[in-house]
Chains A and B, each alone.
Chain A
Amino acid sequence: MTNAPLHIALTFDDNFWAPAYATMRGVCLATHRRKDLVFHLCHRTLTAEHLADLDKITDEFGATLKHYNIDDMPLFADVASRARYNKRLSNIVYARLLFAQILPKDIKRLVYLDCDLYVRAPIEELAEMDMQGFPIAAVQEYLAAFITGGRDIKNFSGLFDTADPYFNAGVILIDMEKWRTEDILGHLETAIADGTMDKIYYDQDLLNLIFKNNWLKLDQLWNTIDARPAHQALNPKILHYTDKRKPWNLVSGVAFTRVYRHVMTNEIFYRYMRHRIKRRLLKFIGWKPAK
């Protein structure tokens, strides 16, 4: 076993602590190099209870966790306030555009993972693969024509050609040196200033504009989008629960539903369920948390 660290980044807010935990635990279970794992957690302020849950990853597997509270970063607040708000995922989606600013400068390779993933293969297979000189590697998004073309695929923004390959940004292998030279923040500032950000699908579209035809295509099994039971037989390396049906719902019908509960651990699975019910009830009665 080599001792080179395996850097992995996740971005999430307090309401996603449990899926983040499950994503990390899946990574840990599937590799022998548990002690080489360094999880860079870019998150908003977390409750003490949820922080303690995440720390269990270190207790159980010896992996390292590094926390970056983006609520303490004026840069993030500034960017997030000006970019278009993502109703479903909140402004946390923009955190990954700031990796060059947030994360240590000595990281050479970084694996970015969404929090709605179940990783089943040794992550070093991905982290240490030959990137053939490309700045990033990702999996092609099957819904690209609709995401970029919109209704009737009439190319509503005029920014994308549907014939160009387009990647899903849920799993990205990043050569950090090349990423830094791309000046992602500069691209974002320009896109906000000229109105591009109002026309596109958040950060995924922006990354596709920046890295257009300049990314390495990974095998689809590294990011099995909209994972359903029929995919199980293919022994996918990473499942991506992009659909509205999520594996943390009590009944979901997605791939590996039952195993996912055990990866999240039953205690957190059911606590997360109560957490969501409570939030929904509070929202229903119109209660707003104190800032």
Chain B
Amino acid sequence: MTAIHILFAFDDNFWAPAYAAMRGICLSTHRRKDLVFHLCELGLTGEHRADLEKITTEFGAKLVFYDLATNRDFQERCANLPSDKRLNQMMYARLLVDVLIPKSVRRIIYFDCDTYVRAPIEELAEIDLHGFPIGAVEEPHADFITRQTDMRHNMDLFDPADPYFNSGMLVIDTAKWRDAKVLDHLAAKVADGTMDRIYYDQDFLNLTFKNNWYHLDQLWNLIDPRAPHQALNPKMVHYTGKNRPWNLVSTVAFARVYRHVMTNELFYRYWRHRLKRRVIKFLRLNRLFTRT
């Protein structure tokens, strides 16, 4: 059996959703041993790395870690790119997939960490992309993301009649991705100011691959999943809303089963992790406040 390559990019604070996303994929396929997870990470602690490695123990899937902070290829390419809240290294990891991942990988499937895959992943690994460099799902909220007030914003960049994809799941033909010279395109868009006008990397990818992507079924990336969607048996749900499945109380689709996919131990540990972060943040703010 040939390997199935999957890509995630996350920082330490997202290790638990990344674990749940991987575990969902493993649970839904018989080809667990063919899975190769390429994990681009920033600042992953030893404890959290050990959590992720349980995927190998439980399912026999392979994990390949890429520490972005020390990856020389990656850092060289990023050196001349801006780094701020909008444009950061986490985002560049996906764009640089062709640099980071071994050339022998011909197809890789990228997932955001706030996804839950419920169908055999080989369906995506083997789908015919009809010569397109990527396969993706149309974004139902494109009208608002790109056009905004009175649907008149950025009309020069995005014609509402052009389809626009959600970039939370991408089936990537790595050779064609390389041919698209994504990084050069990004540098050009930074230089001419386009990047200041658009919605992060999703807009950028839509500019790069405009009318050059294969449409996958909406059920492969069901945006903002709610309880009524459960009956449609979606193949992948994408928790894009503020309502997250790892919150203690959540009304999203599959909220309960998600906790079990993440496993209860990790679910509650992740909850404590976030609580701790919030408290620390709060205290810092407090100190700042008293100083003035």
Contacts and interface: CB of A to CB of B under 8 A. Distances in A.
Enumerate the 4 nearest inter-chain pairs by beta-carbon distance, A residue then B residue, closest first: A29-B160, A230-B228, A235-B140, A265-B150
Given A29-B143, A29-B161, A120-B143, A233 B150 contact: no
A263 interface: yes
Interface in B130-154: 138, 140-141, 143-144, 147-151
A29 B218 contact: no
Contact of B222 (A122, A233, A263): A233
Given A235-B140, A262-B148, A266-B150, A122 B218 contact: no
Nearest to B153: A262
Nearest to B222: A233
A29 B151 contact: yes
Interface of A: 25, 29-32, 120, 122, 229-230, 232-235, 256, 258-259, 262-263, 265-267
Max chain A C-beta neighbours (<10 A), residue from B138, B143, B148, B228: B143
A31 B161 contact: yes
B229 interface: yes
Q: Contact size class for B?
A: 20 to 34
Given A120-B143, A235-B140, A263-B151, A32 B226 contact: no
Interface of B: 138, 140-141, 143-144, 147-151, 159-162, 218, 222-226, 228-229
A233 B144 CA distance: 14
B233 to A, nearest CB: 13
16 contacts: A29-B160, A31-B161, A32-B159, A32-B161, A32-B162, A230-B229, A232-B140, A232-B141, A233-B222, A235-B140, A259-B144, A262-B144, A262-B148, A262-B150, A263-B151, A265-B151
Nearest to A229: B226
Nearest to B161: A32
Contacts of A229: 226
A232 B151 contact: no
Max chain B C-beta neighbours (<10 A), residue from A30, A32, A233: A233
A262 B224 contact: no
Contacts of A234: 140, 218
B161 A233 contact: no
A238 to B, nearest CB: 13
Contacts of A232: 140-141, 223-224
Nearest to B147: A262
Contacts of A262: 143-144, 147-151
A266 B151 CA distance: 10
Given A29-B160, A259-B143, A259-B144, A233 B229 contact: yes
Contacts of B222: 233
Contacts of B143: 29, 120, 256, 259, 262-263
A244 B143 CA distance: 25
A233 B147 contact: no
Contacts of B140: 232-235
B166 to A, nearest CB: 10
B224 A235 contact: no
